[in-house]
Amino acid sequence: MAARWISKLPALTAGRRSFSAVALREIAPSVWRLGEGRPRVAVLGGVHGNELSGVEVVQRLLSDFRHMTPDLQISGEITLAIGNPPAVSRGVRFLHQDLNRCFCEALGGDATPGEELARAKVLMPMLRDLDVLLDLHATNKPSTPFARLPGPVEGRKERFASAERLFLRALPCHTVLWDPNKLIAGGAMSDEYASQHAPFEACQRSGRQIHPAHICYESGLASDKSSAAAIYSAVQTCFAELGIVAHPDGKASVEDEGGRQWEHFEITNVYKLDSRGFEWMNGYGTHNFQVVPPETAFGRRLEPLEELVSPIGHESYIVFPKGEALRSPGWPVGWLARKLSPEEV
């Protein structure tokens, strides 16, 4: 594999881009870097320790790069990281608190001290000034693969276009989830942090502009590693599209399918666990993007009983439904989203 990557490099170095020989260096525990300058891209796996496909992708990339140095030449900077190594080694989502709720400078005083908060402080500098973040996740309930993209409604079209061109079109993904009101994590997820600390200007590569793309990719069920090969290939496509390294097949970009039909959703409601307890009802809460008709009971709080009913006027879609093992007081048990019309994207 390594040799195939390198064999394509002379064609690129013949162009106007300048490639230089680089060595892989570990800049913090389980964080590795190659090269310098822009574009700057980071690939994260294992921010949640039980989500295996992203961990496998990062490990494969590391293995490639280790075999390629000292001959490796790249133009730009690549950071690879395992998000939460202790959680990965134990096969659990987190140890003390969800790392993907800790990417926020304001956290500290009130937050539970623990491994994740300390780890977020190590990772946050690597999430700043990034042209591209690929944070690789999986879900705890079955799901179609989807991308969760950060930021407000304004500029959504441009952010999606960049994410699609650089990464998503190389994946078996047709679904995008937006959270402009930060109902999932109050703006403290990795991609939200990266988006808030993105470069002011688009990066110029080969005479064209690359707009920042900060992507959380949810590949499907967490225990399933079969998606890793496709994600690995899509990451290579991204590197090639950015002009950092050549694609192993020599292609700078993937073929367009010709009008992929994307579905966009936006989070509308969050439901947190309180002292009453909670259970899903009427068969809901089993998978992501499960459709709930308008004004339909999908869950209930217990003692005293209160049914949770979907909003009037549109179908709702359940996202990130939490099974009992993943619930904790004060934290969400799930969210509802609505489907966006084409004009809204």
Q: Which residues bind Zn ion (CB under 5 A)?
A: 48, 51, 137
Query: In the bound complex, what is the minimum distance in angstroms from residue 105's beta carbon to Zn ion?
Result: 22
Quick one: 33 or 137, whose CB is closer to Zn ion? Answer: 137
| Smallest gap from residue 80 Cβ to Zn ion (A) | 17
In the complex, least distance from residue 186 CB atom to Zn ion, rounded to whole angstroms: 16
Residue from 314, 311, 310 nearest 340 by CA: 314
Distance CA 288, CA 146 (A): 10
Q: Which is nearer to Zn ion, 206 or 328 (CB)?
A: 328
Question: At its nearest, how many Å lie between Zn ion and the CB of residue 276?
Answer: 27
- Cβ closest to Zn ion, residue 51 vs residue 241: 51
Question: Percent helix, strand and coil across the chain, each rounded to 5?
Answer: 25, 30, 45
Cα separation of 73 and 5, whole Å? Answer: 10
Nearer to Zn ion, 54 or 243 (CB): 54
How far apart CA 315 and CA 339 sit, in angstroms, is: 8
Instruction: Give 94 or 284: the residue with its C-beta nearer to Zn ion.
Output: 94
- The alpha carbon torsion through 21, 191, 50, 83 (nearest 10 deg) reads 40
Task: Quote the least distance from Cβ 298 to Zn ion, whole Å.
Answer: 23
- Here the tokens at position 80 are 């690879």
- Residue 46 three-state SS: coil
